[in-house]
């Protein structure tokens, strides 16, 4: 599978994780998975990829008793739903969650979360998982483009904005998400830098933001930017 394109921010600068695969602060996650085989497999894969494992639990009671409130890596939507039902208040305090799935999770389940989150198929490789963990650690939302095609129907996206983005504005936003400066966006779309600035001003207004980093972050959360 190709490595997903994830944008995260450090020091108010948008950075493409493909160009920043070894951040100074290694991420750490707590694994919640019923299967001992899944627990062991995930732990070995993460540690081999430079991701720290704060702990492993088969049940939400074990996780709750650990007192951990960092990033969670959860194996399966049904297990996540059980956690919300039993320990919803405690889970509301965690830093973020990466959900692995075989059965596609419902969009309503994910959109209700106040925390950063990501979803990935269970067969994802370490590069994809590492990118998703870093995205969540940076406060972003991430999911496969194929899943987005099912989730992000125009009616779903338009409820987030007073006025939907035009086709050209979506093109500019996508290149902005790739970290391109105005000059390169203009070259890519064969338009002038002045026109790029015009489109950016319109995008910022529709998203209710004032900076490029805020635009990428909000567009990711609301589904206008698939990373």
pLDDT at position 155: 41
1 lies in some domain = no
Going from the C-alpha of 220 to that of each of 63, 171, 173, 179, the distances in angstroms are: 29, 14, 10, 14
Tell me the average pLDDT across 198-208: 87
On the question of pLDDT at 202 being above 60, the answer is: yes
Using the 3D structure, point to which of 112, 146, 180 is the last residue of a domain.
Answer: 146
Q: What angle do CA 170, 171, 174 make, to 5 degrees?
A: 85
Same domain? 138 vs 177: no
- 10 pLDDT more than 90: no
CB 8 within 8 A of CB 137: yes
Same-domain check for residues 167 and 207: yes
Domain match, 125 and 218 both: no
Residues 74 and 105 in one domain: yes
Q: Residue 25: what pLDDT?
A: 61
Q: State the pLDDT confidence band at 223, using cuts at 50, 70 and 90.
A: low
26 and 111 fall within a common domain: yes
Global confidence as pTM: 0.59
Three-class DSSP category at 193: helix
- For residues 22 and 40, membership in a common domain is answered with yes
Average pLDDT of span 58-69: 93
Same domain membership, residue 123 and residue 53: yes
pLDDT over 60 (residue 74): yes
Q: Are residues 116 and 16 in the same domain?
A: yes
Once rounded to an integer, what is the mean pLDDT over residues 123-131? 87
Q: Report the pLDDT value the prediction gives residue 209, as an integer from 0 to 100.
A: 84
Q: Which residues contact 180 (CB under 8 A, 6 or more apart)?
A: 188
pLDDT, residue 81, reads 85
Helix, strand, or coil (residue 158): helix
Q: Hey, which residues does 7 pair with through a beta bridge? A: 16
Is residue 181, in this structure, part of any structural domain at all? yes
Which domain CATH number covers 80? 3.40.50.2300
Residue 195, in any domain of the structure:
yes
pLDDT at 159 > cutoff 60: no
| pLDDT surpasses 90 at 98 | yes
Mean per-residue pLDDT for 14-34? 62
**Is 166 in the same domain as 207?**
yes
Coil, strand, or helix at residue 54? strand
Q: Which domain holds residue 118?
A: 7-146
Residue 93 and residue 70 share a domain: yes
Task: With H, G, I as helix, E, B as strand and everything else as coil, classify residue 196.
Answer: helix
User: Which pLDDT value is given to residue 56?
Assistant: 95
Q: Which two tokens stand for residue 64?
A: 């709750």
**Residues 130 and 26 grouped into a single domain:** yes
| For helices 193-207 and 182-189, angle between their N-to-C axes, nearest 10 degrees | 110
Q: Which of 116, 146, 176 is the last residue of a domain?
A: 146
The pLDDT of residue 215: 86
Where a domain ends, among 115, 146, 177?
146
- Kindly report, residue by residue over 75-96, the tens digit of the pLDDT: 988 888 888 888 888 888 899 9
- Check whether residue 26 and residue 116 sit in a common domain: yes
């Amino acid at each position: 599978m190709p490595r997903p394109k994830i944008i995260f921010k450090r020091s108010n600068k948008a950075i493409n994780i493909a160009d920043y695969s070894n951040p100074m602060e290694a991420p750490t996650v707590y694994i919640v998975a019923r299967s001992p085989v899944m627990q062991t497999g995930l732990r070995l894969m993460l540690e081999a990829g430079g991701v720290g494992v704060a702990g492993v639990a088969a049940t939400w009671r074990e996780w709750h008793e650990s007192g951990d409130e960092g990033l969670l890596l959860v194996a399966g939507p049904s297990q996540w739903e059980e956690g919300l039902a039993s320990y919803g208040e405690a889970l509301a305090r965690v830093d973020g969650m990466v959900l692995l799935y075989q059965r596609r999770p419902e969009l309503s389940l994910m959109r209700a979360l106040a925390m950063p989150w990501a979803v990935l198929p269970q067969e994802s490789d370490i590069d994809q998982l590492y990118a998703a963990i870093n995205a969540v650690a940076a406060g972003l939302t991430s999911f496969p483009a194929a899943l987005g095609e099912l989730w992000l129907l125009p009616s779903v996206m338009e409820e987030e904005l007073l006025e939907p983005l035009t086709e050209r504005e979506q093109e500019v936003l996508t290149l902005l998400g790739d970290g391109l400066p105005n000059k390169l966006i203009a070259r890519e779309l064969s338009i002038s830098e002045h026109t790029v600035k015009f489109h950016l001003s319109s995008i910022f207004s529709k998203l209710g933001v004032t900076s490029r980093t805020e635009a990428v972050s909000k567009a990711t959360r609301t589904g206008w930017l698939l990373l």
